[in-house]
Chain A
Amino acid sequence: MEVDTESNIQRKQSIYQSMDESFEIQKEMYRGQQYSQIYFARLHLMRTLLYSLVPNWKPHLPVCTVLGLEEGKECIIVGTLYKHMKLKPSILDEYSKEKSAGPLVKPHNFIHPDDHLVLEDESGRVKLRGNVLLPSVYVTGLVVALHGKETGAGDFWVEDILEAGLPNQIALPLKSGEDKYVVFVSGLSVGNSGSNPLQFQLLVDHVTGHLGDETEQSIAAQIVQVVIAGNSVEIPLGLLNGQNLASKDQSKLSEPIKELDILLTQIAAGVPLDIMPGPNDPANFSLPQQPLHRCLFPGSSAYNTFRSCPNPHSFELDNVRFLGTSGQNIDDLEKYSEAKDKLEFMERTLRWRHISPTAPNTLGCYPFTDRDPFFIESCPHVYFIGNQDKYATRLIKGSEGQVVRLICIPRFGETGIAVVLNMGNLECHALSFGTEFSS
């Protein structure tokens, strides 16, 4: 087959640097450590940070511990928030004689008007009151600084609140006028009986430049990276009932992964590909989820463009920093707090400087003893979460000139939508694949 060299289109390239070290569980193992350790590490980290911010915030006020509070004296306290929730499911409810408190106001949301916040540090805990601090916004596990005073009843009346805020950001590389695109996709759900394999095949063909005319191919050539943010396969639940599998069922179990591998091989042959595990994937349950094993992908793992990554996942492309998860952190916040949309939850996690404050309370998490990997040390330029109902995006700006592109990636299997980000200007659009035509 002859190839016309003049019309050959070269794919653009970019420099990739993985920042996943902190999300990898290497030598750590379970030796009976408890979750108090990760809370200690978190409190220590965040408190040191907040103490450094307090002099610029309210220099005239003394800083106290919870134990050092005096009635009527205005001061600043720093500690971990705990949200007392009436409707929060508890394993002990099964054994209690009283019936549970009441029906849920909304399905899958445990907020109740009676919820209240408590602040704790090593010395003690104090109940928080006041109109500034809305319990529906905050969640357990967050470290904040509060300005207020102790009331006669022994509560702490909150007058102002200081969150850690957006961290410092490395400068965006100067605009080269060159467009380079990153494609995000999640919730492929290969193996789901309802999903349409043609949609994903169309995406693969588009990314690899097998679709359309030269104009379209030249656009496809500007795609430098594909990121798959979780839930790539769906293993039929009926098979996993604790019984031994018959041999024909075993092949049914591995079928979706084989199919996925065939498709990923096509992508990896042309474009660098990062795959993150999600809640439905054959990976560990607790965060940080460890990379899917290479043995699952005998075809695509032969390419050095294929990278199996942890969840959360952080990397740099041409000095643009990316941070993302497969969505568990935001989905959990949605159960235990309220916001007008998913993007607001995402923005909060950045301003709190913590990817998933609800871990380990309501979200599975490895019991780290000496660090808290979910602490956000450096502000990303792009923050993405996978497996959401619909595509949404927003650009937020920090007080020190930080600019962050927030992206909710919809489930591809249900919506047929992938997300394309232009690294040159952080602009973002949806890439929609339809396969049904009205007759």
Chain B
Amino acid sequence: MASSTRGGDMKGFFRQRKKSGAIAKPKGKKSSPKHSPSASFEIASLHINDDYDENKEVLLRQFDMNMAYGPCLGMTRLARWERAHSLGLNPPEDVERFLREAKVRPDCLWDGRV
């Protein structure tokens, strides 16, 4: 319970950040992926060809926040994906593809903020 409410709090925190920041557009889309993570991957993959970096970023942030793959601070997203892969945790393949395309932020959400 505690972790899910905490996760909720963090998401709230990020939406607020985004309102003030440049990424406000995908807000409407984001509400649906929040409920079902598999749907979010579909939506994200629909936009691979478009330059919808915001969508990718949303997916990557979800990856950052997923505790199953271990702490995210202090290592690159790709290193974290590779660790999860080598530990047999089956991280989403979309995440790797986005990270290898190199148009996204290589570091995790919290990098440089804490």
Contact = CB atoms under 8 A, between A and B. Distances in A.
A34 B71 CA distance: 9
Nearest to A37: B71
Contacts of B87: 41, 44, 370
Contact of B70 (A37, A67, A123): A37
Interface band, chain B: 10 to 19
A2 B7 CA distance: 84
Given A122-B67, A369-B83, A37 B75 contact: yes
Interface string B1-32: 11100000000000000000000000000000
B73 A40 contact: no
Given A67-B1, A67-B3, A123-B3, A34 B83 contact: no
Nearest to B87: A44
A122 B2 CA distance: 11
B3 A31 contact: no
Nearest to B86: A370
A26 B49 CA distance: 39
Interface in A17-52: 31-34, 36-37, 40-41, 44
Interface of A: 31-34, 36-37, 40-41, 44, 67, 122-124, 367, 369-370
Interface of B: 1-3, 67-68, 70-71, 73-75, 79, 82-83, 86-87, 89
Contacts of B70: 36-37, 40-41, 44
B17 to A, nearest CB: 22
Contact of B73 (A34, A41, A67, A124): A34
A148 B71 CA distance: 28
Contacts of A36: 70-71, 73-74
B71 A124 contact: no
Contacts of B79: 369-370
**Lowest 8 CB-CB distances: which A-B pairs, in order?**
A33-B74, A40-B70, A36-B71, A370-B83, A34-B74, A122-B67, A32-B74, A369-B75
Contacts of A123: 2-3, 67
Contacts of B75: 31, 33, 37, 369
Nearest to B69: A40
Contacts of A67: 1-3
A32 B79 CA distance: 13
A32 B74 CA distance: 5
A61 B41 CA distance: 36
A59 B10 CA distance: 38
